[in-house]
Amino acid sequence: MVEHILGNYLVDVGKITKEQLDLLIEKQDSVRIKLGLLAVTEGMMTVTQAEEVNILQAVRDMRFGDIAVEEGYLTQEQVEKLIKKQGDAYLMFIQNLLDEDMLTMEDWDWLLEDFKRVNNYSNTDMEAIKSNDVERIIPLLLPEAAQVYRPLIETLIRTMIRLVDRNVYLGKAVMGDVFPAEDLAIQRMEGAKGIVDCLAERNGGLLKVCSIFGQENFSRLDLDALDAAGELLNCANGMYVSELSRKGLFLELMPPEYTGRDHISDICRIPIFIGNAGLYFAVGRLK
């Protein structure tokens, strides 16, 4: 995610082109290795164990390494070793910029300070971005009023990274009073503190998500395509509701729908990007 956040800043200020950023992302993708594959090639896990952890990830909102430790396949020390072997996404991005002669190190130092200033980020915030950790980055993109939705947003994004595209990244969220009304999949979670969320089209992103997750090349957002979006939403929301239940908080997950709803307040809308395509995730409280 860090390469997209900083890379798009460089595009916005005219230091690199969108085509150059795409080249950098493609190069970075070619050298980053999944943790499970690394664990198997390093002889720390068997193929069967790695596949089992991958299956568990589909129903439990946890990282590969955390599940592997919980199941007794890896130690925390082994996970940390494997993460180092994966490569530091932030440092890899800088190295690729320098290797491709797009910027000098002096340019980068100045631009990073400007990025920090423009976004009013602290040193701690910058370290969170450099970490490439979803749980540390997402709070920086949410207004204060939307922080209450952070666990749900984190669950959705981790699910999309696992099941749709690992290059999913976010823009800054905004609060509003309008919920998307068309080209969307929507789901209610009813209870004492009921909420409703949706995935909505922006500029081709939802259609792309439907095609990847539904494993079918949809040409338009018809009901068949939106069914795939609804299943993805149901998957993420199901893990979120299950986690709440373990804490003694209960919400009833209703079937996905495909039309907008009224009587929703405290709405947060956050843009999600997959490559050059975008969609929205919106969440609000049921009145």
Residue 31: predicted pLDDT: 62
Which residues in the chain show pLDDT less than 50? none
Residue 187: predicted pLDDT: 95
CATH number of 138-286, picked from 2.60.120.640, 3.40.1550.10, 3.40.50.360, 3.40.47.10? 3.40.1550.10
Residue 32: predicted pLDDT: 64
Residue 209: predicted pLDDT: 95
Residue ranges, CATH 3.40.1550.10, the chain: 138-286
Residue 222: predicted pLDDT: 93
Residue 47: predicted pLDDT: 85
Q: Which tokens hold the place of 185?
A: 């999949």
Residue 36: predicted pLDDT: 83
Cα 76 from Cα 43, distance rounded (Å) = 16
Residue 17: predicted pLDDT: 93
Residue 33: predicted pLDDT: 63
Residue 164: predicted pLDDT: 92
Half-sphere exposure of 163 (CA within 13 A, CB side): 27
Handedness of CA 120, 124, 128, 130 (dihedral sign): positive
